Structure 1
Amino acid sequence: MNDIDMLYDYYKDVNLAAGAYATMACRIKDDKLEKFYRDTVHEVLMEARSSAKMIIKYGGNVF
């Protein structure tokens, strides 16, 4: 497995995690936990954006 394949896998997994955290944020009733999950979604999406930039830098396409 080469570097770009690993980056694609990482990008996919990070986006799946963001979706899971967003689902938790929508369904949870505790305000503190909801804020925690929303903040986590933001951090995970920033990580996804960084990995997308790396994929593009190495010649891949994320769209």
Structure 2
Amino acid sequence: MKERTFTFKFRGERADELAERFMAYFWDGGLDQTIEQGYLEEYGLDLDDVEFEEDGYVVSIDTSKAK
């Protein structure tokens, strides 16, 4: 299976705190879900095609149904 990775890295003294806040903001509706849902829908995908790793820091998107 082919994979591509897009990574955000948080560095410095407050890296843990800011990474947690970013994750919550992005995935819990801080952007009104328009960016991620709009992007997925453009390719015939939805949030059911998205898997979150246990820690929530890694998101995998199954593109097998993409148009």
TM-score range, shorter chain: 0.3 to 0.5
Q: Which has the higher contact order (CA 8 A, sep 6+)?
A: 1
Provide TM-score, normalisation by structure 2. 0.35
Whichever structure has more strand as a proportion of its residues is 2
Whichever structure has more helix as a proportion of its residues is 1
